[in-house]
Amino acid sequence: MLFCNIDLLDEQFCLHRNRYVGVRDGQIAYIGGIAPAEDYGERYDGRHRLMMPGFFNVHSHAPMTLLRGYAENLPLQRWLNERVFPFEAHLNAENVYWATQLAIAEMVQCGTVSFTDMYFECQAMAKAVVESGIKCNLSRGLTVFDDSAYEQLAAYRDNVELLRDYHKKADGRLSIDLCIHGEYTSSPKVVKAVAAHAKSAGVQMHIHLSETKSEHEECKQRHGMTPAAYMESCGVFDVSTTAAHCVWLEENDFSILKKHGVTVACCPASNLKLASGYANVPEMLRQGINVALGTDGAASNNNLNILQDVYLFALAYKGYYHDSTLITPAQALAAATSAGAKSQGRANCGALKVGNRADLCIVDTDTPQFTPMHDAACNVVYAAQGSDVKLTMVDGRVLYRDGAFQTIDIEQVKFEAKRHTGQILSAL
């Protein structure tokens, strides 16, 4: 495909007007100010359109779409124990498959090209990822509340099967990570064993870290160290790790994350909605920690439109730390794109440049919110709506265009999602 006369945001999120972008074999093969001599197939009229790198949503629980709006205005423990856990007890491979399709539809409709997810019934989730054309780093959520060894857990068997059947599959779109849900939902023995498994398998880790104050303080009482120091002592950070939330980090925790190249998956909407607090993102950025963005699950957001998290990320810390110079639009967009690609271990992804994978989205700029366009990055960060996205492409394949899903039967997905939700509610 050849995009003609299109505006685009480069690696520094600076605007270039009226460019030609040629996509071939899943890659960006040409960017220039004049039409290339080669034939790239279909010509896309890019007038009044802005091309940018697609978004990476690096912390989600996709099947929680079925719980959207089901658990509201409750303290975290009651939210979990009274609403989320009883509902989740009724999830199975079939309803998780449809719930994941629904999540993927919502993500690609808002320009997301890849997500990092932690849940269960991962075989069904992997099927949805493979069929939809999106990219994903998928991990099987692991919790253990007794003295079991890792190898005795269902999660161990699932991890072995997932690594065998799905790691680096679908032309590399799908990667399998290993997971510790959190310090407070596991035992040191199992955390160490999972970390060793990830190391020997050569895969990444995905964890929750210091999301709430109580979780953070109880870890210090239990182990005499912060969750970050605890995970480091168990060897988790010996492999590339994405740590969600990191709201309550202490001084030494920042250097631990920096030392091991841990990515923080910042989830501003979820942190605000569940009243977890404000992560010290300015300090993370000052110390050079890779900060990426996640929506978290639809039960705690309640949407998977990462542009809303970009907006909150760009605003919340200015207000909380009383400094309007914190978090530039370019830093917010980098968190949602290149930092996410880095966290997923995906080379040649996350920026518009020749040789990179053609993972991109296009927004309509012929709208009030894009008029005028003094600085296109500012329009995207502070003014754009998810519905401004008109095209989402992954590895050169169009997944969404002008309201139409190319790989997902959206009517069937909505029907099945509602049907399965009704079944679960009637069984509760």
Task: Write out the binding residues for Zn ion, residues 241-270 only, by CB under 5 A.
Answer: none
Q: Write the interaction track for Zn ion spanning residues 24-53; mark x where CB under 5 A is met and - where it is not.
A: ------------------------------
Beta-carbon contacts of residue 347 (< 8 Å; ≥ 6 apart): none
Closer residue to Zn ion (CB): 121 or 296: 296
Task: Convert residues 287-306 into a mask of x (bound to Zn ion by CB under 5 A) and - (unbound).
Answer: ---------x----------
- In sign, the C-alpha dihedral spanning 416, 418, 419, 422 is positive
Q: Which of 270, 286, 376 is nearest to 325 (CA)?
A: 286
Q: Which is nearer to Zn ion, 19 or 181 (by Cβ)? A: 181
d(CA 196, CA 175): 18
Residue 208 CB, shortest distance to Zn ion, in Å, is 6
Distance of closest approach, residue 92 Cβ to Zn ion, in angstroms: 21
Which amino acid belongs to residue 156? Y
Q: CB 379 → Zn ion: shortest distance, Å?
A: 30
Q: Compare residues 177 and 296 and give the one whose CB is closer to Zn ion.
A: 296
The residue whose two tokens read 């040409």 is 30
CA–CA distance, 303 with 228 (Å, rounded to integer)? 28
Instruction: Give least dist CB 61 to Zn ion, A.
Output: 6
The span from the CA of 270 to the CA of 316, in Å, is: 12
- Residues in 409-428 at the binding interface with Zn ion, rule: CB under 5 A: none
Q: Give the largest CA-CA distance in the chain.
A: 67
Under 8 Å between Cβ of 125 and 117: yes
* Cα–Cα distance measured from residue 203 to residue 322, given in angstroms and rounded to the nearest whole number: 40
> In this structure, what are the phi and psi dihedrals at residue 416, rounded to the nearest 5 degrees?
-70, -35
13 within 8 A of 36, measured Cβ to Cβ? no
Nearer to Zn ion by C-beta: 265 or 284?
265
Cα within 13 Å of Cα(165), Cβ side: 14
296 vs 416, beta carbon nearer Zn ion: 296
If binding means CB under 5 A, how many residues of this protein chain bind Zn ion? Answer: 1
Which CB sits closer to Zn ion, 158 or 296? 296
Beta carbon of residue 60, minimum distance to Zn ion (angstroms, whole number): 8
> Shortest Cβ distance from residue 266 to Zn ion (Å)?
12
In the bound complex, which residue of the shown chain has the CB atom lying closest to Zn ion?
296
User: Among residues 46 and 182, whose Cβ is nearest to Zn ion?
Assistant: 182
Please report how close the Cβ of residue 6 comes to Zn ion at its closest, in angstroms.
Answer: 36
Q: Which residues bind Zn ion (CB under 5 A)?
A: 296
